[in-house]
Structure 1
Amino acid sequence: MKVNLSPEVTLLLMACSVELPAEKRDKITQFINQQSIDWNRLYVLAERHRLKPFLFRSLRQIVTVSEPFIAALKQDCQLTATDNLLKIHQYHTVAALLSEYGIEHMPLKGIYLAEHVYPDSSLRISGDIDLLVRPKDVFATIDLLQRHQYHLSEKQDLQWRQGEERILSDLFEVSLFKPFFNNSQFDIDLHWQIMGFNQHYALFDLAYVQLQPAFEAERKIVLLATHHGVNNIWQQIYYINDLYFTLVKADVNWSWLLQELSRCGFREVFLAGLYWCQQIWNLPLPPTVQELIASARIRSLAEAYAKNWETDKPREFSHLVLKQLTLLLTAQTSLGNQVKTCTTFFTSRVFRYSLFRLGKRLIYVPKELGFITIFIRAVQSLFRFLPGRR
């Protein structure tokens, strides 16, 4: 299978560069001159893939690109840089608060990667502040954040009122927000377990990361591949960039990492992301790993993931769940993992809590009664596949 990427997506991939050498600048200039670029679509896709900072750094050196386009990117990048600094400052404020109260935590994804992994924090557009805490500290953390102007949403508040045992049984994270200025706010996603594919397939927690200090970096890479590759099907190009900068920064024990990913059934998904790290960034790899990603199977899988880059918006809800299933099944190399993928997919659809809105009221249905609501949720999922709902 050969993936045919549009000129806009191809240009975004070419623009992924920290410093633009003359050779690459000439290559991009030649590409723009030879291709019919839809500049409006390029702008939309740069937003969708969180690549505006990279695109601006590359295209500002190309004289044939229109000044208004560059000016719009520049303004967006200035806002991004300011937003990142505010979020990093807010994270440090929250981290100091948690440490003051003896709550152990670990930052995840955006803010952590922007500050500690990327060469310039402004290159990584961040959304929520993601924190991982121990299950025993969940309620103390939520209570502490609520006493410092953070709030739960209506749905999360309803779940919160079900009690500690129910929260830890049904959920793996909660979201809190703190009003900041005008309509802006700081958002925190508080995790105590990271789900891999679904709650019956794999769960990771802070204890998992800290189990072997010598392999902490590798375990964090497992979490990154789980979130970006398994759960979110590498569907945004910045996920690949996250993986690249993380790998470049770490002294990776490749043998241990691949063995751990194989144990989880996520090795092929990771290798597909690794394939694009090399295609986009020319990531140097050990010969044994290079041989793995050079295989026709991994190349075909990587191209299947890349097909998702062309949509104007990331897949979500039922569309994402279906893609998670089909791509993870394709990635499995053993019958046992194929069976596990299918069985956990169906059990996780049945035995789960549900929230339904009746008029203005939210109704909570515990997961023990999830089989009663499966038909309602099935209809809702099918409804999302209607053309008008895409």
Structure 2
Amino acid sequence: MNPSIQQPLSTLQLLLLDLITPLRTVTQAQVDALSPQDWQALLKMVRQHRLGPMLHWQLGQVHAHLTIPPECRAEWARSHKKNTLRNLLLQRELLLVHQLFKNAAIPYMALKGAYLAYHAYPNPALRPMRDLDILVPKDQVLKAYQILLDAGMSHMEDYQGSPEVVMALYKHLPPLRSASGQVNVELHSRLFHHESEGRPQPDLSDTPGFWDRITSAPIANQVISFEPPTELLLHMIVHAVYDHQFNNGPLLLSDLAFLLSTQTIDWPLFWSLAQLGQQTRGCLLALKLTQRYWGIEHMVWPSTTADEQIELDAATDMAACLMLRDFEARGDVFLHHELLKSTSPKEKIFFLLRKIFPSKDWIAAIYPVRRDSWQIYFWYLVRLLDRLRYRVPAFWRARQQPQLQHEVKEITRLTQWLAG
């Protein structure tokens, strides 16, 4: 337990999950039991996982009977207002991208938050967005990238690598900063990573008929192209469960809940796609969490045995707390988790060496240098110094934190269950 708080961290995490959902009961006694230190810990989780707008809304919808510290209510109200303005900026940039690609006859799909905020949530302010994610067919994504640059977008300082190299390694090209300087735009050539747990991963965008199933919906008198609802459901689950082990927070649950309550899902297609990608267990887990906290009906489940249901319930309990772990420590948790998977000292050493000295393609994807240039060794030195200055000290500090080590063990258990 963090010595600065009185309640166990898991108690605070589960209480916060109950506060942001419509189905769970929260009593005044639970709220009154929180110390000032507990409230500070809870506020930190809210900020890290962008839950202020949803809390502000739910306190008016289903938890109006609760007496909450005024400073907390005020902060969450401010975040709701701030997100309203932020989403207007993102909407403007989405419309600009739409017009650019329309003029160039380039097909695209706006992904995840752009659709959810305006066509699933009851109010766009409830769905924070860090950036705009846009999918473009692989054979046109580099052309689309150049169109955005020609229109005034710019490379970001932390992402100076070659788009061609990045495309071969990652699912999206280096992020671009909008001409306004207020929004980041990520062009995707894939929805999923190239690999998952060391095995090639088929991509949703390559499935037959994917681009024929584009969803079109209006935003500010323009018809915008979006990801089809069934694929969007699977995309969000894979992103949260397999890519992030739930460290991107409980907005996943409201995303799924509002999508399922507003759109028709092709369940046979959904489960066949999940089976194709060996992602059925992750889908079961995410939907079970959504049902537990949001009470969504009309979901179609595949058949499971009694033993499988017991395992699923245990995984659901585990995942609930993992959704609200320290966002700032996610890199340390991931590194320790990957290290724990190495079974011998030799494997651990080789793993760390690969992290410190990655492939030339990886260096060329991050830094402004070609993989065949002699200057690439200078950038290896830059990376090494950066690791020694920042990551190594953070890595050793993290090893001394009991909570982080607990999270590493829980993630290891979860990933083992997901692997089946």
Instruction: Using the TM superposition, give the Cα deviation of residue 229 of structure 1 relative to its aligned residue in structure 2, in angstroms.
Output: 1.5
Structure 1 gaps of 5+ residues are 328-344
Corresponding position of 1:340: none
Retained in 1: the 8 A contact 2:136–2:189? yes
Deviation (angstroms), 1:257: 1.6
- CA distances 1:244-298 after superposition (whole Å, capped 9, x unpaired): 2222222223333223212211110111111110111012245745867981111
Query: Is 2:106 the counterpart of 1:103?
Result: yes
Q: CA deviation at 1:383?
A: 6.3
Deviation string for 1:49-73 (max 9, x for gaps)?
2211121123353452222221122
Question: What letter corresponds to residue 58 of structure 1 in structure 2?
Answer: Q
Q: Which residue in 2 is equivalent to 1:386?
A: 396
CA RMSD between the two structures: 3.8
Partners of 2:179 and 2:268 in 1: CA distance: 46
Q: Is it true that 1:354 corresponds to 2:351 in the alignment?
A: no
Give the Cα–Cα distance (whole angstroms) in 1 for the partners of residues 97 and 336 of structure 2: 36
Out of 186, 189, 192, the residue aligned to residue 186 of structure 2 is 189
Structure-2 residue corresponding to 1:128: 131
Please point out which of 93, 97, 100 is paired with 1:90. Answer: 93
Deviations 1:4-50 (A, max 9, x none): 86333223222224xx69x95xx443431355571111111111222
Unmatched runs of 5 consecutive residues or more in structure 2: 1-7, 215-227, 342-350, 405-420
Alpha-carbon distance in structure 1 between the residues aligned to 2:335 and 2:123 = 33
SS for the counterpart of 1:353 is helix
**Is residue 13 of structure 2 the alignment partner of residue 9 of structure 1?**
yes
Worse-superposed segment, 290-299 or 145-154: 290-299
Aligned counterpart for 1:313 among listed residues 301, 324, 327: 327
8 Å Cα contact 2:50-2:128 kept in structure 1: yes
Which residue in the other structure is 2:225 paired with?
none
Aligned to 1:189, the other structure's residue is in SS state strand
Q: Is the 8 A contact 1:197 1:230 kept in 2?
A: no
1:37-76 residue pairs with structure 2 within 5 A? 38-59=38-59, 61-62=64-65, 64-76=67-79
Q: Distance in 2 between matches of 1:257 and 1:228?
A: 17
Instruction: Please give the alpha-carbon distance, in whole angstroms, between the structure 2 residues aligned to 1:290 and 1:28.
Output: 36
Distance (Å, rounded) in 1 between the aligned partners of 2:310 and 2:209: 36
Native 8 Å contact 2:177 2:185 kept in 1: yes
Asked whether the 8 Å contact 1:234–1:240 carries over to 2, the reply is no
Letter in 2 for 1:231: D
What is the CA–CA distance in structure 1 between the aligned matches of 2:253 and 2:192, rounded to whole Å? 20
User: Which residue pairs with 1:118 in the alignment?
Assistant: 121
From 251, 254, 258, the equivalent of 1:238 is 251
Q: Find the aligned partners of 2:339 and 2:314 in 1 and give their Cα distance.
A: 17
Is the contact between residue 109 and residue 136 of structure 2 (CA under 8 Å) also seen in structure 1?
yes
Partner of 1:145: 148
How far is 1:302 from its partner?
A: 2.4
Q: Select the residue among 257, 275, 278 that pairs with 1:265.
A: 278
* Alignment-mate amino acid for residue 300 of structure 1: A
Q: Secondary structure at the match of 2:142?
A: helix
User: What amino acid is aligned across from residue 15 of structure 1 in structure 2?
Assistant: L
Please give the per-residue CA displacement for 1:70-100, whole angstroms capped at 9, x wherever unaligned: 1122112111111012211221221122111
Flag the 1:155–1:72 CA change in 2: closer, same or farther, 3 A: closer
- How many aligned positions are there? 348
Counterpart secondary structure, 2:317: helix
SS at match of 1:190: strand
Alignment CA distance shift 1:205-1:296 (3 Å): closer
Aligned to 1:32: 31
* Structure 1 residues 67 and 86, CA gap change in structure 2 (3 angstroms): same
What are the superposed Cα offsets for residues 148-169 of structure 1, whole Å, 9 maximum, x if unpaired?
2101124544314xxx4x4543
Whole-angstrom distance in 1 between the partners of 2:185 and 2:317: 33
TM (norm. structure 2) is 0.70
Preserved CA contact (<8 Å) 1:152 1:177: yes
User: Whole-Å Cα distance in 1 between the matches of residues 360 and 229 of structure 2?
Assistant: 32
CA contact (8 A) 1:117 1:245 kept: yes
Distance in 2 (alpha carbons) for counterparts of 1:324 and 1:306: 21
Residues 1:81 and 2:95 are matched in the alignment: no
**Cα offset for 1:354?**
2.4
The 1:292/1:306 distance shift into structure 2, 3 A limit, reads: farther
Report the alpha carbon displacement of residue 143 of structure 1 after superposing the two structures with TM: 1.4
CA distance in structure 2 between the partners assigned to 1:136 and 1:40 by the alignment:
49
Using structure 1 for the length normalisation, give the TM-score. 0.75
Q: Determine the C-alpha separation between the residues in 2 that align with 1:11 and 1:304.
A: 15
Q: Kindly state the Cα deviation for residue 233 of structure 1 after the two structures are TM-superposed.
A: 1.4
Cα offsets for 1:117-140 (capped at 9, x unmatched) = 212111101111000001121222
